[in-house]
Chain A
Amino acid sequence: MTALLVAPPAIRRRGSRRVVAVLVGVAILMALTVLSVLVGSRPIEPSVVWAAITRPDVTDDAHLVVTELRMPRTALAIVVGAALGVAGAIMQALTRNPLAEPGILGVNAGAAAAVATGIAVTGGAFGTLGLFGFSFAGAAVAALAVAALGGIFRRGADPVRLTLAGVAFAVTLGAYTQTLLINFPSVFDTFRHWAVGSVQGRGGELVLPAVAIIVPAIALASLLGRSLNAVAMGQDVARSVGADPRGVLGAGALLVVLLAGAATAVAGPIGFVGLTAPLAVRLLVGPDYRWIVPLSALFAAVLVLGADILGRVLLPPAELETSIVTAIIGAPVFIALARRRRLMRL
């Protein structure tokens, strides 16, 4: 028995890789956070930035740029990225489909369509609570519809069919959202960047509600790691190791709706983050969802914050929407995955 308690070398190596992955991820995120506050279309001296953080002066324009624009924007990029990464990881486990993520499966598009409808109907006067409400409702409806059409509730679900149903939904709802935007010029001006997917110009008042929803949801998702491990092996295996597949599906779907809905309410539909981050994490630390879920949050935050900074510095003085940068990074990953012979297997 004692021999079994000593982990074989491969597992020990994996353990040290996990530690390295966490440390490297945290280090990059901290470096990007500093960079994100320092860099922008308007050059501000690091000493001034430091002063703005330690001794904010509301009469100083530069201080206001740092405290009112760059700091909320940085915080939003981090939570939005983390939410999308975890949502993608959960969806990949539940659907056993490596192409599953809230952008490709139409959940973000559903949330965006619902928010755009809300703006068009009410003229946009529904406050932060209404914004999140519309977003959650849209995400939930889209997730349910795509799951039903994609055959999640049937045995032997086909990952290709699910992916196609998601893409069809995303395209249709995207066209619908565009129609609304074109018809309401004031909405277009306010939400032009949002509809494309960007953390630029989003108000600081969104930071608190976003954090209040996303952080607990990520914590719950991390606790779900063991159950996700079981479900990712298939329903029969899951049942035989004592997991409740339907319960996990329900809880996971609820978390996906909360995470993707909150992220979309804040930043608009951003795709490919939930695809790329969990995939990279899986390559680093192996198929254990107890590690994939929290590390996906970390690396997706790195990805979105990095994409946001890149979008700011690539073509100054103009800014590039975050979603464009994430699509340019993420689409090649999607293509590489789709090329694999056995799409089914995670």
Chain B
Amino acid sequence: MTAGTVRVWRSRDERIALRWHRRPAMAAATLLLLLIPLGVVALLTGSFDIGPAELWATLTGQGEPTVARVLGTIRVPRLVGGIVVGAALGVSGAVFQTISRNPLGSPDIIGFVTGAATGAVVAILVFEAPPGIVSLAAVCSGMLTAVLVGALSLRGGTAGGYRLVLVGIGVGALLGAVNDLLLTRSQRDDAIAAQIWLVGTLNGRGWAEVLPTVIAVAILIPALLLMRRGLAALELGDGMARQVGAPVTIVRLGTIAIAVGLAAFATATAGPIAFVALAAPQLVARVGRSSSVPLVGSAAMGAVLLVGADLLSQHLPLSLSAPVGLVTGVLGGVYLLWLLSRGR
């Protein structure tokens, strides 16, 4: 199970001890460092460019009011949104891939993200709800979808890995049709805007949309870290996990609930973003060569992927524009095909 060197830090009275594997920790740290240049570029560029000096002046409170307003109401929330949505999706994917023991068992493939989007679409279009209620609706419908997919893929007491994936794809297709139906039936004339929401975008997301996800990430990811040892035990299979003393049912239900919640909050903020939840844990596992559940690494990788894809979506060649969900869709789809071509 262990990969590379294990480092331990103990406080002087040995009350607190932190264990970490060197290489995965390095990978996570590198990814977090990578966020800094990406974030700076994201803040500097856009419909008009801001110079580095101007950025520094504004951050220290001496800049022009217009620049401060652009940064404070548009670019900073967008950047923060990219980071927390990416992190939430990455962690959610890591949990689901661990529990289903299948790289394809991630929430964007098995319909949870689409299901969360259904709740958000209903809240937005039918009830014209404020962002906080939209997040709540997304979480509720994401949970319902998870229960539905889980119940449908149960057979003889077990949800076989690929049955879960295929049933999830079917449920996702059904809910996707429902989303299309709701959006095309809405009284809104701006069908293109509606279309863009359905593929996922960080465009025009202010603090009102971003804040619920920031709070969710701040609470749920630490909660998940507390359960990580049980989660790692689940990876061994239920029987083995019981042998090493993990409370299997509690760990599974708890982590699933948290992971669905993370994916749903992310979806309420940015719409159904494809493939970040699938790709982030897989990429981290390859970079970090870790065999245990890479929660922190997946969060960092998800954030880097989404902020990077968002930057790319703003600076596509030929003055093309594509919401970030389409960029991640194309990139992630190619990655998934590569994953399949290497075969099992």
Tell me the A residues contacting B by CB distance below 8 Å. Answer: 99, 149-151, 160-161, 163-165, 167-169, 171-176, 178-179, 181-183, 185, 188, 192, 196, 271-272, 315, 318, 320-321, 323-324, 327-328, 331-332, 334-335, 338-339, 341, 343
Contact across chains for A99 and B333 when beta carbons are under 8 A apart: no
A residues within 8 A CB of B162?
Answer: 160
- 7 closest A-B pairs by CB: A172-B333, A175-B329, A338-B166, A327-B177, A331-B174, A335-B170, A334-B170
> In the bound complex, what is the Cα–Cα distance between A196 and B181 (angstroms)?
11
* Contact assessment for B199 and A175 in the assembled complex, using a CB-CB cutoff below 8 Å: yes
CA gap between A272 and B169 in the complex, in Å: 13
Give the residues in chain A near B163, CB-CB below 8 Å.
338-339
Residue B326 interfacial (CB < 8 Å): yes
Chain A residues near B36 (CB, 8 Å)?
A: none
The residue that A324 contacts in the complex, of B171, B177, B329, with Cβ under 8 A, is B177
Contacts of B173 in A (CB 8 A): 271-272, 327, 331, 334
- Cross-chain contact B176 with A327 (CB below 8 angstroms): yes
A175 to B313, CA, bound (A): 13
The verdict on A335 contacting B177 (CB below 8 Å), with A188-B192, A321-B184 known, is no
Q: State how many residues of chain B have any CB contact under 8 Å with chain A.
A: 43
Taking a contact as CB atoms closer than 8 A, the residue among A173, A328, A343 that contacts B174 in the complex is: A328
Whether a CB of chain A sits under 8 angstroms from the CB of B153 is: yes
Which stretch (B25-33, B51-59, B259-267, B316-324) binds chain A?
B316-324
Q: A178-B326, A182-B323 are in contact. Are A161 and B174 (CB under 8 A)?
A: no
Give the distance in Å from the alpha carbon of A252 to the alpha carbon of B195 in the complex: 36
Find B166's partner among A99, A173, A271, A315 (CB 8 Å cutoff). Answer: A99
**Would A167 and B321 count as touching, CB distance under 8 A?**
no
Q: Is the CB of B199 within 8 A of A168?
A: no
Within 8 Å CB of B274, what residues of A?
171, 175
Among residues 181 to 209 in chain B, which have CB atoms less than 8 Å away from a CB atom of chain A?
181, 184-185, 191-192, 195-196, 199
In the complex, are the beta carbons of A331 and B177 less than 8 A apart?
yes
Q: For the complex, what is the distance from the CA of A324 to the CA of B216, rounded to whole Å?
A: 33
Consensus secondary structure, chain A interface: helix
Q: Is the CB of B330 within 8 A of A175?
A: yes
With A172-B329, A179-B330, A331-B171 known as contacts, the answer to whether A160 contacts B166 (CB < 8 A) is yes
Q: How far is the CA of A165 from the CA of B322 in the complex (A)?
A: 24
* B165 at interface by CB-CB < 8 Å: yes
B195, A178: Cβ atoms under 8 Å? yes
Minimum CB–CB distance for A340 against chain B, Å: 9
Residues 95-139 of B contacting A (Cβ, < 8 Å)? 104
Tell yes or no: B296 within 8 A of A by CB.
Answer: no
Nearest chain B residue, comparing its CB with the CB of A174:
B329
- A331-B171, A331-B177 are known contacts. Are A176 and B340 too (CB-CB below 8 A)? no
Of all chain A residues, the one with the shortest Cβ separation from B336 is: A168
Is there contact, CB below 8 Å, between B326 and A179?
A: yes
The interface bits of chain B over 192-234 (1 if a CB of A lies within 8 angstroms of the residue's CB, else 0) are: 1001100100000000000000000000000000000000000
> Cβ of B330: which chain A residues have Cβ within 8 Å of it?
172, 175-176, 179
Assess the A339–B165 pair: CB atoms within 8 A: no
Known: A338-B163, A339-B163. 9 other contacts (CB 8 A): A164-B165, A174-B329, A175-B325, A175-B330, A181-B195, A182-B322, A328-B174, A328-B177, A328-B181
Can you give 30 contacting A-B residue pairs, CB < 8 Å? A99-B166, A149-B337, A149-B340, A164-B165, A165-B337, A165-B340, A168-B336, A172-B336, A174-B329, A175-B199, A182-B192, A182-B321, A182-B323, A196-B184, A271-B173, A315-B185, A318-B184, A320-B184, A324-B177, A324-B180, A327-B174, A327-B176, A327-B177, A328-B177, A328-B181, A331-B171, A334-B169, A335-B171, A335-B174, A338-B166
Q: Which residue of B lies closest to A175 (CB)?
A: B329
Residue in chain B with minimal CB distance to A120: B320
Q: Report how far A285 CA is from B341 CA in the complex, Å.
A: 37
Query: How distant is B158 from chain A, measured CB to nearest CB, in Å?
Result: 11
Contact: A163 with B333, CB < 8 Å? no
A343 to B184, CA, bound (A): 35
For residue B219, give the distance in angstroms from its CB to the closest CB of chain A.
Answer: 31
Q: B178 in the interface, Cβ–Cβ < 8 Å?
A: yes
User: Are A324 and B181 neighbours in the complex by a CB distance under 8 Å?
Assistant: yes
Residue in chain A with minimal CB distance to B173 = A331
Name the B residues within 8 Å of A188 (CB-CB): 192
B-side contacts of A332, CB under 8 Å: 170, 174
Return chain B residues, CB-CB under 8 Å to A315: 185
Contact indicator A178/B199 (Cβ below 8 Å): yes
Nearest chain B CB to A113's CB is how many angstroms away?
Answer: 11
Residues of B within 8 A of A341 (CB): 155
